[in-house]
Amino acid sequence: MNCQEFWESNPEMHMEGGGAQHGAGGTDSAQHAAECQSCAAQLRRHQALKGGLRTMAAQLRHLEAPARVEAGLLAAYRTQKRVMTGRARRHWWVPVFSWAATAAALIAVAVLLLNPSQPPSPARRPVPGSVELASAGAPDFDANASAETDDDFIPLPNAENLDPDEEVNVVRMEVPRSTMMAVGLPVSADRVSELVEADVMVGADGVARAIRFVDE
Amino acid sequence: MSLAPPETDDDLYDRLRSGDETAFLTLYRRRQGAIYRFAVHMSGSASQAEDVTQEVFLALLRDECGYDPSRGTLSGYLFGIARKLLLRHLERTRSDVPLETDNEESVIAELAVDDSPLEDLTHREGIESLRRAIRTLPRRYREVVVLCDLEEVDYADAAGVLGCPIGTVRSRLHRARALLLDKLNQERHSKPSVSTLKPLRCVV
């Protein structure tokens, strides 16, 4: 074995522990180290370095990140866990709501298509009262019904029932045409972003209960 | 009675992803020391090492943390993130002291003819010298010494962390050790021995 072969055979591995030899490569390495003083000296230097590195590693083993890092990370983990839990909670009802809304829209379209004899709504309705905000008695309709009422007010989804004697306000305003979709009315895709005038019936508690479109 | 084997990093990782706080703490306590020490050695700054350690484990918490057990160990993944963060910081600050030797082979050749024995590096003074020598190594050699020699990361994992073949890890480690020996030798020769110092005045 020459010097190059000696170093390529990884002599540090073979001769660790004061010359312990492992296998044929170890025997050859030991023989070369015994014959070549230069390689033997260099090997001793490498072994001394390795010993120093081991000692240094052992001395530094106690070196750890301060406790505040753990505390900060734990807080971050808990926050993230809450967010994840929140997301999981939302997940169950989002698809249910989507399917329910889609089903309601399809039913409304089907009702409109199967009932062509229904008289067309007037092109333009008079403004309720002399001012935009007007008080009126509660119209006779069931807020949960999906069909339009006698006044052509359409109950808003999830709106509470109105008491028969409840005072309501009707406000005329412009709403996006997409609002019509929310109550099951057909809207062409290219007009979704347009505004349309509508009368919104607001209960005594200030919550909108029904809507009537002035210009459809 | 046999003790149950400790949970693997991957088991803990799976549990922490499903919200198990204990698993997160166990994994953090098992791995934070090595990451922190690696960052200390590479940056030379305790406060920066603290930031890096925090960032590494925050990255693990992200939804798209990118850890894939089929591509390497979790420990290697954590070291890899730490290394990227440190490199980014070094690029920003340029605080690294480059000691790129154009002809590193010549250093090794010189060492081959220097037969003088080294002082015992396991003593306190020797360890201090060694620490200084490591600190002044070029980054690519310093990181391989810290990973393989100080943190005992195996060559395959180190290759994953450094993004290079195992052979490159071996050759870098060999050169790094040669450079360390050279630095230690230079320091030993430049340091005057106690016997050569002459007292100016006796105060006793």
CATH of the domain at B172: 1.10.10.10
Residues B58 and B82 in one domain: yes
Residues B57 and B108 in one domain: no
Three-state SS annotation for A74-130: HHHHHHHHHHHHHHHHHHHHHHHHHHHHHHHHHHHHHHHHHCCCCCCCCCCCCCCCC
Q: How confident is the model at residue A146 (pLDDT cuts 50, 70, 90)?
A: very low
Highest-confidence range of A22-26, A198-202, B57-61, by mean pLDDT?
Answer: B57-61
State residue A117's pLDDT score.
55
Q: If pLDDT is split at 50, 70 and 90, which confidence band does A127 have?
A: low
Strand partners, A201: A170, A210
> What pLDDT shows up at residue A120?
52
The 3-state secondary structure of A132-161 reads CEEEEECCCCCCCCCCCCCCCCEECCCCCC
Specify the pLDDT at position B46: 92
A73 and B54 within 8 Å at the Cβ level: the answer is yes
Query: Residue B69: pLDDT above 70?
Result: yes
pLDDT in tens, A170-202: 888 888 777 777 777 777 777 767 788 888 888
Interface subset of A 20-39, CB within 8 angstroms of B: 37-38
Q: A13 pLDDT band (50/70/90 cuts)? A: low
In chain A, where are the structural domains located?
3-60, 133-213
CB of B176 closer than 8 Å to CB of B145? yes
The answer to whether the CB of A41 falls within 8 A of the CB of B11 is no
| One domain for residues B65 and B13 | yes
List, for residues B8-24, the tens digit of each pLDDT value: 999 999 998 888 999 99
A95 pLDDT above the threshold of 50: yes
Q: Is residue B151 part of a domain?
A: yes
Answer yes or no: do B28 and A73 touch at CB < 8 A: yes
Tell which wins on pLDDT, B139 or A86.
Answer: B139
A41 touches chain B (CB under 8 A): yes
| B53 and B121, same domain (yes or no) | no
* Most confident segment among A87-96, B97-106, B119-128: B119-128
Same-domain status, B84 and B108 = no
* Position B114, amino acid: D
Give the residue-averaged pLDDT of B40-44.
91
Interface of A with B in 42-71 (CB under 8 A): 42, 44-46, 48-53, 55-57, 59-61, 63-66, 69-70
**Same domain flag for B89 and B162:** no
Domain ends where: B44, B73, B93? B93
For residues A90-112, average pLDDT = 70
Q: Is the pLDDT of residue A100 over 80?
A: no
pLDDT of the residue at A135:
45
Residue that is written with structure tokens 């693990």 in the block: B60
Nearest-CA distance A75 → chain B (Å): 10
pLDDT tens readout for residues A30-46: 888 888 888 888 888 88
pLDDT at A133: 43
**Which of B40, B111, B184 lies closest to A63 in CB terms?**
B40
Both B85 and B118 in a single domain?
A: no
Rounded percentage of chain B residues whose pLDDT exceeds 90: 53
Same domain, B134 and B58: no
Boundary (domain end) residue, out of B62, B93, B124: B93
Q: In what order do the strands lie in the sheet with A133-137?
A: A133-137, A167-176, A195-202, A208-213, A154-155
Residues B153 and B181 in one domain: yes
pTM: 0.59
Same domain, B88 and B112: no
| Lookup: tokens for B139 | 């980054």
Mean residue pLDDT of chain A comes to: 72
User: Does some domain include residue B183?
Assistant: yes
Of B50, B120, B177, the CB nearest to A66: B50
Query: Chain B contacts of A81, Cβ < 8 Å?
Result: 19, 21
Same domain? For B156 and B183 the reply is yes
| Chain A positions in Cβ-Cβ contact with residue B127 (cut-off 8 Å) | 52, 55-56, 59
pLDDT for position B49: 94
On whether residue B169 sits in a domain, the answer given is yes
Confidence of residue B37 (pLDDT cuts 50, 70, 90): very high
Position B56 in a domain: yes
**What is the total count of domains within chain B?**
2
Which of A38, A48, A65 lies at the smallest CB-CB distance from B32? Answer: A65
User: B66: domain CATH number?
Assistant: 1.10.1740.10
Report ipTM (2 d.p.): 0.75
Percent of chain B with pLDDT over 70: 77
Look at residue B49 and tell me if it is in a domain: yes
Name the residue range of residue B31's domain: 9-93
| pLDDT: which is higher, B161 or B100 | B161
